[in-house]
Amino acid sequence: MIETINSPNDLKKVKLKDLTVIADQIRNIIIDVTSKNGGHLASSLGAIELTLALHYVFNTPKDKIVWDVGHQAYAHKIITGRREQFRTLRTYGGLSGFPKITESEYDTFNVGHASTAISAALGMTTAKDLLNTKEKVIAVIGDGALTSGITFEALNNSGELDKDLIVVLNDNKMSISKSLGAISTYLTKRLTGPTYNTLRREIERAIKGFPVLNEPALKLAKKIEESFKFFSPGLLFEEFGFKYFGPVDGENIEDLVTIFENVKNLRGPVFVHVLTKKGKGYKFAEENPSKFHGIGPFDVSTGQTLEKAKSPSYSSVFGNSIIDIMKDKPKVVAISAAMLIGTGLEKAKNLFPERVFDVGIAEQHAVTFAGGLAISGIKPIVAIYSTFLQRAYDQIIHDIALQKLNVVFAIDRAGVVGDDGETHQGIFDISYLNLVPNMIITAPKDARELDALLRFSVDNDFGPFSIRYPRGESVDFGEQFIDTIEFGKWQVLNDTESCDICIISYGNCVKYSMQSIPILQEKEINPFIVNARFIKPFDDKMFNEILNRFKNIIIMEENTYIGSLGQNLITYAYTHYENHKSKIEHIALPDAFLEQGESEFLRKKYSLSCDNLINKVYTLLGR
């Protein structure tokens, strides 16, 4: 049947009872494609019935569905004319893993970061009133969004504006891993409490006993409903000015269709609470929804991932280092923003439950919370992906850097991250942190140096100290390249008296510099290789020596060139050495949002490779 569904209009032609068949077929497609391409599997499996009901009832694309994050939007893509393209999910030139306005008229807002849906939807419904149009606007949020401040800012403003807005809560008690915080606890207690469930059964029994719902019966039902709110999870949302409906069984399409038909023409803000099951329909995802939240290619029959790492990831190296540090230093704590597993902190949380904090999808709070700890004598390490740290920029400047507090920022997924595309590339952190006074920025060349920089940062009181490292498998250059870290000092990795050219790189790009050595030496070119592990402050003494010694310099880095180390070094060279004779070639990422694609493919496309580095050397030397 799914082959006949090329738009929501086709879906509306299907009998209501047959939508479960469509749901099962979509589930099979999603499992098959993600098993090959990887992706956000568990979230999308749990939201299929909800997605079908929304498109069955509402007149999309005229009516606008705004998905929060978009992890749960795979079924939405399949039934909005992208079924055949779905096999290209998360590949270069293929479908995005998230809603994307340039991809389809059914995608109403670009998303990838959590908790933006209600704000965007409120803006759309306000614009609708200003333009005097008649469409419906629906925001679909996950329960993880209820840990985020922007969600409550939007709920508060929605109640004040009293616009026609439908918010659907897709509640599976999970965000990426188990949802945390007082709101999650509140909802769970209300939904599972004996008083709530007993009252609900009694009310259902009483209403069924009414022969006709005449006016006295309706008044009684209304009074019962008002009393019931004190025991239901809806009281919170009613206080924000929403009409609350639910909880609704998210696996029952007929119930979902009925509730959406009932609420779609109501005036004012409406909140529909839907209970779903993350990973529904695939045994391994149901049993381990956190693993299958975002997963690489896997064997459908066993649930085992197919890609076997040759070396530990930087995230796991970080996680193991944190455990060792916390054993030795009782004042060190770690903070995550709903990313314990992704950042490698899950083991540390199990060992030190009182010293590892998962604050939910609340990066702003995470940073200022760390500031409060730091000013009280604790040494916090805040582990957040590069792309998500952007959300806490004001807190970094105002609450941490301005007071020069000793907070360590462990910036995971820095640089190119690949398949998740524009919304997740970590290519701006050096640029936005370079602007901040008192901020120290470092990048390790390999796993050993990541451990060393972490220890260096907690052993000293330098103020805010950032350590950025890439996604994926770590590199280990061996013991011969271990040295004692000194503040603000670079490391020379290759030097001879007859060096022809200087190559400066840091982090992930050091491997390309090191790979170039034997190839260049075969051509009788000896490169002077520098590990610029301190990006801010940079090693001005060594750079002065480089400017005096070398006529040809290459700077290579995995960050947008604007605000980068290379831009700062070039500016320094021309302001401090007006007559310097050095030719400086800067290899960096463009001023652009990088598309999705396999990470190494994207790096090569944007000139971050050993081959490109060697060609730049040949060009500069005229070979």
Which residues are identified as catalytic? 278, 363, 391
C-alpha span between 70 and 120 (Å, rounded)? 14
Amino acid of residue 544:
N
Q: What does the alpha-carbon distance between residue 456 and residue 441 come to, in Å, rounded to a whole number?
A: 13
Contact residues for 566 (Cβ-Cβ < 8 A; gap 6+): 555, 557, 586, 587, 588
Q: Alpha-carbon distance 598 to 243, whole Å?
A: 45
Please list the residues that pair with 172 across neighbouring strands.
none
Q: What are phi and psi of 360, to 5 degrees?
A: 85, -170
Structure tokens at 5: 């569904």
Residue whose token pair is 């103020």: 463
Please check whether residue 104 is in contact with residue 70, taking contact to mean a CB–CB distance below 8 angstroms.
Answer: no
Helix (H, G, I), strand (E, B) or coil at 336: strand
Order of all β-strands in the sheet with 465-468: 356-358, 332-336, 379-385, 408-412, 465-468, 440-442, 534-536
Is 383 in contact with 345 (CB distance < 8 Å)? yes
Which of left, alpha, beta for 463 (phi over 0: left; psi -120 to 50: alpha)?
left
For the record, the structure tokens of 205 come out as 């029994």
**List of residues 6+ apart from 280 with CB closer than 8 A:** 27, 45, 46, 48, 251, 286
Q: Are residues 477 and 446 in contact, defined by beta-carbon separation less than 8 angstroms?
A: yes
Residue 417 is which amino acid?
A: V
Residue with tokens 């999650």: 184
Do residues 533 and 491 touch, judged by C-beta distance below 8 A? yes
Please state, in angstroms and rounded to a whole number, the distance separating the CA atoms of residues 474 and 453: 15
Two tokens, residue 141: 């949020």
Specify the residue for token string 């280092």: 321
SS (H, E, C) 597-611: CCHHHHHHHCCCCHH
Question: Which residues 6+ apart lie within 8 Å of 73 measured at CB?
Answer: 44, 47, 51, 67, 98, 99
115: left (phi over 0), alpha (psi -120 to 50) or beta: left
Find the helix or strand (DSSP H, E) in which 441 lies. Answer: strand 440-442
Residues across the chain = 623
How far is residue 32's CA from residue 495's CA, in Å, rounded to a whole number? 51
Q: Which residues contact 339 (CB under 8 A, 6 or more apart)?
A: 176, 345, 358, 383, 384, 385, 388, 412
* Phi, psi angles (nearest 5°) of residue 169: -95, 110
